[in-house]
Structure 1
């Protein structure tokens, strides 16, 4: 099972770079960056600055060696897929073939409201996302692409140069079992969602069934997941996100459970690992537990 770090984009670039370089130097497998322009409404500090995802992954791809770099995940509502394909291919060129393109349908209300970007109803948003995936697959994997959809229209469109990887993996962030996991089964090379091992195992089984319906080998789709991590300390009460750990022993048990359900990659947000030397020490402890 791979282990990757997810630095919060709401911190100075130097701190993001420190975590990414430490990951590369010590044996972590990847670095992921979220695509948002501000914290979600209701966050403790909803006004703090957030760095832009596309710029960050390009910068990290240029200066951080070895590890994979990925987006978790680009929001389709504010990223036109044709432009995004060109961005992704460029980052893959910059990184020497180490980029993973993570995409999702889009969801965060306050950034759409503040920036005046439409956030369609869920059905329309997902329909639009399916067309976007057709655009991305075509531009990144075919010489020319024509799409005549309700939301995107491309005619003999090109995206050159292509990614170094053939194919460059496309990850879909999805939790909905009625439509989104079926879309993952049809279009994704990798799947991601938040959750503890029992939830991930359940949703992974749903994804397997969709793969069977579509005649696709479920082993072709890598499974990735994340939860907040506390290395040594009390777990937060009433956390809206899943939390694992509290002590190295309990964290080791959770890691073992993820491994037992066949998770391919555990992604660790750095939000509860502390700052500076404390965060780097926590990363070292996590890595030791993963490799124990």
Structure 2
């Protein structure tokens, strides 16, 4: 099972670089970056925490950090035209020497769209647009030219050069919706990602397997990746709105064993509950020792 770190983009670049470099130096497999411009807050609450932009971060980390894979969790489709994003992804794959994981999703965060005047359509239209974008990405990144006529995107003999070094560069889809999004994953993804503890991932993975079977695709051709927040040597947060595990080394090991038993291909660790500075680096070492045991 691969092990990757997910440093928050809501911290100084030097801190992100420290985490990523430590992970690369100590045997981790990947570094992921989220694609947001501000914290997710309800209407009327003004974000004050700075947030670094994902595309720039991916390129910077790809140039600065050796060996590990660099990925996005996940680019929001609504923020950039898919042709523009395809060129960004191909460029980062060249910067990294063929180590980029192109993580994409439909987009969802309300306050970003509201503040920037970016359209956030109803769910059906949002997902229809995302499916069109996936077809655009597959075309531009994997074929010489792309002509596409959709309801949202139109391309005519379009090129994306240079192509990624990887052939193909993996497309990761972040998705949790069981009625439609997991079917989209079955149709278009090389990798799948969602939040959840082992029981949730196992349940959704079975649904994904079923969609693959219906489509005539071998479920084993889609890599499974997941994350939940981790606490090392401390109490779990009260009333957490996200999945979290740990508190002690033995509890971390128990949950990691659960991920391994369900066949997870890659475990991703958000750094939000790991502290800062030396405390965080020590937590990374503790987690890595548990996973590699």
Matched, 1:35 2:39: no
TM-score, normalised with respect to structure 1: 0.99
1:66-98 residue CA offsets vs partner (Å, 9 max, x unmatched): 000000000001121100000000000000000
1:1-292 aligned at under 5 Å gives the runs 1-42=1-42, 46-292=47-293
Q: The residue matched to 1:154 in structure 2 has which SS?
A: strand
1:255-285 residue CA offsets vs partner (Å, 9 max, x unmatched): 0000000000010000000000000000000
Please, which runs of 5 or more residues in structure 1 have no aligned partner? none
1:113-167 residue CA offsets vs partner (Å, 9 max, x unmatched): 1111110000000000000000000000000001100000001100000000000
Contact 1:9 1:50 in 2 (8 A): yes
| Distance apart, 1:42 and its partner CA | 4.7
C-alpha distance in 1, partners of 2:252/2:195? 16
C-alpha distance in 1, partners of 2:181/2:196? 16
| Distance apart, 1:47 and its partner CA | 1.4
Q: The residue matched to 1:84 in structure 2 has which SS?
A: helix
C-alpha distance in 2, partners of 1:93/1:222? 23
In angstroms, what is the RMSD of aligned CA positions? 1.1
C-alpha distance in 1, partners of 2:126/2:169? 24
Contact 1:39 1:45 in 2 (8 A): no
C-alpha distance in 2, partners of 1:101/1:228? 22
C-alpha distance in 2, partners of 1:190/1:79? 21
Contact 2:42 2:111 in 1 (8 A): no
Contact 2:226 2:268 in 1 (8 A): yes
C-alpha distance in 1, partners of 2:111/2:257? 37
Q: The residue matched to 2:179 in structure 1 has which SS?
A: coil
C-alpha distance in 2, partners of 1:45/1:229? 28
Structure 1 residue ranges (4+ consecutive) displaced by more than 2 angstroms after TM superposition: 42-46
Please, which runs of 5 or more residues in structure 2 have no aligned partner? none
Q: The residue matched to 1:288 in structure 2 has which SS?
A: helix
| Distance apart, 1:45 and its partner CA | 8.7
C-alpha distance in 2, partners of 1:231/1:220? 33
C-alpha distance in 2, partners of 1:239/1:154? 44
C-alpha distance in 1, partners of 2:259/2:245? 11
Change (3 A) 1:188 1:199: same
Q: The residue matched to 1:233 in structure 2 has which SS?
A: coil
Q: The residue matched to 2:268 in structure 1 has which SS?
A: strand
C-alpha distance in 2, partners of 1:208/1:195? 17
| Distance apart, 1:46 and its partner CA | 3.1
C-alpha distance in 2, partners of 1:236/1:79? 35
Q: The residue matched to 1:96 in structure 2 has which SS?
A: coil
C-alpha distance in 2, partners of 1:127/1:213? 20
- Count residues in correspondence: 292
